[in-house]
Amino acid sequence: MEGGGGGGDHVQSSGGNGNGNGNGNGNGGSRWNPTKEQINMLEGLYKQGLRTPTAEQIQQITVRLRDFGHIEGKNVFYWFQNHKARQRQKQKQDTYAYFNRFLHHHPSPLFPLPYQNVGCSPCYMAAPKNEGQLYHHYPKVLPIPAGNYSKRPTLIPGSTSQSQRYNKPMHKNQEEHHHHHQETLDLFPIHPTGILQSRSGRIEIDSNPCPSSSSDQNDGLNSDTNIQYPFFDFFCGKGN
Amino acid sequence: MEGGGGGGDHVQSSGGNGNGNGNGNGNGGSRWNPTKEQINMLEGLYKQGLRTPTAEQIQQITVRLRDFGHIEGKNVFYWFQNHKARQRQKQKQDTYAYFNRFLHHHPSPLFPLPYQNVGCSPCYMAAPKNEGQLYHHYPKVLPIPAGNYSKRPTLIPGSTSQSQRYNKPMHKNQEEHHHHHQETLDLFPIHPTGILQSRSGRIEIDSNPCPSSSSDQNDGLNSDTNIQYPFFDFFCGKGN
DNA sequence: TGTTTATGAATGAAAG
DNA sequence: CTTTCATTCATAAACA
C-alpha cells in the first residue's frame, strides 16, 4: 500500500478458469497469484470477522480455496496478515485525516465523534469508519515508555545459575562495554586445535561428536540441548 | 531468507564494512539490516546447533559480527529467536499439510502429488550442504502418524493460533485421534444457526463453551473481533 | 511499453 | 517460547 493508494482493482479474469494463476503448474516460482474466487472467499471470511486464522483454519481454508487454483497455507496466512495490516493502515490514515479536519476547524457537533476520550489518552481512536462491521479496530494503547527491553528479568526456567540467558535485548550500552576482550575465546576460540571445554554460559563444549538429542522441538527447552562446540570451526573458517 | 521479501536483496556488500545498515549512527531509526556475512555467520552458528545463545554468547557473537556491519546484541538475540521460531513454524505447516493430504486424498488433477513442501524457504532451508556440520536437526518428517498430531494449533509459516485452548482440548479422553469427518467442519460448519455462540474465540468445533478469555490482544481490534461462526454462511453462499 | 499501484512475501522487533 | 505487529522488498497487475 505504500504506493499511496489508487483505485486499482485487480480484476484478474480467472473467470471460469480453474486457475488464473500463472504458476498454476510449472510452479514458476513466482509468487502466488490469487484468483478472483479466492480473493472473494478470503474477503468474505475477513468480513465475517476472521482476522488471524489458526493453523488449522488456514489449512481448511487452503483446502477449500484450492478448488479455485493453486494455493498454499502460507498464502492464506500472508493474505490475512497483509490484509489486516493494510486495512489498519488505511484506517489509520483515515483517522488521521479525520482528526486533522477536526482540529483545524471545529465543525458542528453533529458529526459522529467516536467517543469521549478524544484527546485524553495518548492513543487515538479509530475513526468510525467501519464498513458495517461489528467491530472497530484500534484499541491500541500507545507506545510504551520505550525504555529498555528487559522487561522480563526472569531467567529461563531451568537455566542453571551459571548459564545466564540473554533475557531480553539490552540497551545498546552495556553490550559494548568491554572492548575486544579475549572472552570471545569461549565462542570463538582461535586455536584451531582444541575445543574449549569450558562451558561459558550456555555454550557447551561437548566432546561428544554426535549428541543424540537433536529434536528440533526441544531446542529452546531449558536443557542444554544446544551443543555448540563447533563454533570455533565456523568462525575460524575451517569447516573441519 | 532476506532474498524473498522483506529482507530483499539489498545487496549490501558489507565488504567495505562500516555497516551496510542505514542506521549507521544518527541514532538509526531503522531496524537492523543484516549484511550477508552476518547472516551467513548466524546461519552457520544455527546449523551448528546453536539455538538459544546465552547472554555471553550473544555478546561474543555480536562482537564478531560487528566487523561486518553495525549490530547489537539484541539483534543477535532476536535473530535466533525468530529463526528458531520460524523454522519451527515451517515444520509445523508442513506437518499440517502432510496430514491434511493424508487425511483426505486431495483429488487435484492439476497438482501432482509431491507438491507438498511450500517452496518458501529461500535461504534457511538451503541445500543440505552440511559439510562442516556435525549434526543437523531437521525432523521435517513427522513422527507419530498415529494420530495425535494436533497437539496444539500452532501456526503455519505464520499462521496464528490465538486461543489455542479451544482447538482441541478434549483429547484427554479420547487419547488417540478421532474421526475427522472433514477437517473443514470446524471452519465451515454446516449448521444453519451457527451464529449463536457469540464469540467462540476462534473457530470452535464442538460445542465447547469457550470461556470469554479475551486473551488475545488482537491485532488491533479490541474485542475478540474474530467471530467466525458465520463462515458457513459465506461458503455456503447463503449468509451474505 | 514504461510507470504506478496493489499486494505477496519476508523478517526484524516486540508483546504476551 | 509463542504470537502478533510493523516495515520493507519484490513483483504481478493495472494503467497511461
pLDDT score, position B85: 94
| B216 in Cβ contact with B206 (< 8 Å) | no
DSSP B56: H
Cell 478469555 locates to B213
- Rounded distance, CA B168 to CA A97, Å? 44
**Residue B131, domain member (yes or no):** no
- Statement: residue B58 has pLDDT above 50: yes
To the nearest whole Å, the CA of B229 is away from the closest chain A CA by 8
To the nearest whole Å, the CA of A168 is away from the closest chain B CA by 7
pLDDT score, position A106: 64
Which of B46-50, B63-67, B140-144 shows the lowest mean pLDDT across its residues?
B140-144
Q: What is the mean pLDDT of residues A176-200?
A: 39
**Residue A220, domain member (yes or no):** no
What average pLDDT does chain A have? 54
- Statement: residue B71 has pLDDT above 60: yes
**Residue B1, domain member (yes or no):** no
Q: Mark yes or no for CB contact A231/B45 under 8 Å.
A: yes
- Statement: residue A68 has pLDDT above 60: yes
Residues of chain B positioned with their CB less than 8 A from the CB of A217: 88, 139
**Residue A81, domain member (yes or no):** yes
Q: What is the mean pLDDT of residues A81-105?
A: 78
Q: Give phi and psi for A73, each to the nearest 5.
A: -55, -40
pLDDT score, position A168: 64
pLDDT score, position A205: 29
pLDDT score, position A192: 32
- Rounded distance, CA B189 to CA A61, Å? 12
- Rounded distance, CA B30 to CA B42, Å? 20
Give the dihedral sign, CA B213/B219/B225/B229: negative
Say which residue, B195 or A171, is predicted with more confidence.
Answer: A171
| pLDDT bracket for residue A31 (50, 70, 90) | very high
- B5 is near strand C: CB distance < 7 Å: yes
Percent helix / strand / coil, chain B, rounded to 5: 30, 0, 65
Q: Mark yes or no for CB contact A48/B231 under 8 Å.
A: yes
| Range among A94-103, B22-31, B89-98, B151-160 rated most confident | B89-98
- A151 is near strand C: CB distance < 7 Å: yes
Minimum-distance residue to D11 (CA–C1'): A31
pLDDT score, position B93: 75
**Residue B224, domain member (yes or no):** no
Buried b / exposed e along A113-133 (16+ C-beta atoms within 10 A):
eeeeeeeeeeebbbbeeeeee
- Rounded distance, CA B91 to CA B125, Å? 11
Percent of chain A with pLDDT over 70: 26
Other Cβ atoms closer than 10 A to A72 = 23
Q: What is the mean pLDDT of residues A127-152?
A: 36
- Statement: residue B120 has pLDDT above 70: no
Other Cβ atoms closer than 10 A to A140 = 18
- Statement: residue B230 has pLDDT above 70: no
- Statement: residue B217 has pLDDT above 70: no
Residues of chain B positioned with their CB less than 8 A from the CB of A200: 54, 56-57
- Rounded distance, CA A214 to CA B7, Å? 29
pLDDT score, position B89: 85
Write the pLDDT tens digit of every residue in A48-57.
999 999 888 8
Q: What is the mean pLDDT of residues B150-179?
A: 37
E strands, A134-197, are none
**Residue B81, domain member (yes or no):** yes
Percent of chain B with pLDDT over 70: 29
| A45 in Cβ contact with A76 (< 8 Å) | no
pLDDT score, position A218: 38
Buried b / exposed e along A7-23 (16+ C-beta atoms within 10 A):
eeeeeeebeeeebbbeb
Determine which helix (DSSP H) or strand (DSSP E) holds B39, and give its type and residue range. helix B36-47
pLDDT score, position B83: 96
Q: What is the phi-psi region of residue B139: left when phi exceeds 0, alpha when psi lies from -120 to 50, beta otherwise?
A: alpha
pLDDT score, position A20: 38
| pLDDT bracket for residue B80 (50, 70, 90) | very high
| A94 in Cβ contact with A136 (< 8 Å) | no
Say which residue, A74 or A101, is predicted with more confidence.
Answer: A74
- Statement: residue A128 has pLDDT above 70: no
Picking from B145, B147, B162, the residue whose alpha carbon sits closest to that of residue B204 is B162
Say which residue, B39 or A128, is predicted with more confidence.
Answer: B39
Which amino acid is present at A108? Answer: S
**Residue A26, domain member (yes or no):** no
What is the number of structural domains in chain A? 1
Beta partners for residue B221, in sequence order: A137
C-alpha B63 chain-centroid distance:
29
Q: What is the phi-psi region of residue A159: left when phi exceeds 0, alpha when psi lies from -120 to 50, beta otherwise?
A: beta
What average pLDDT does chain B have? 54
pLDDT score, position A91: 77
> Where residue A48 sits, what CATH number does that domain have?
1.10.10
Domain of B44 in residue numbering reads as: 36-104
Q: What is the mean pLDDT of residues B109-130?
A: 34
Q: Mark yes or no for CB contact A41/B228 under 8 Å.
A: no
**Residue A214, domain member (yes or no):** no
| pLDDT bracket for residue A90 (50, 70, 90) | confident
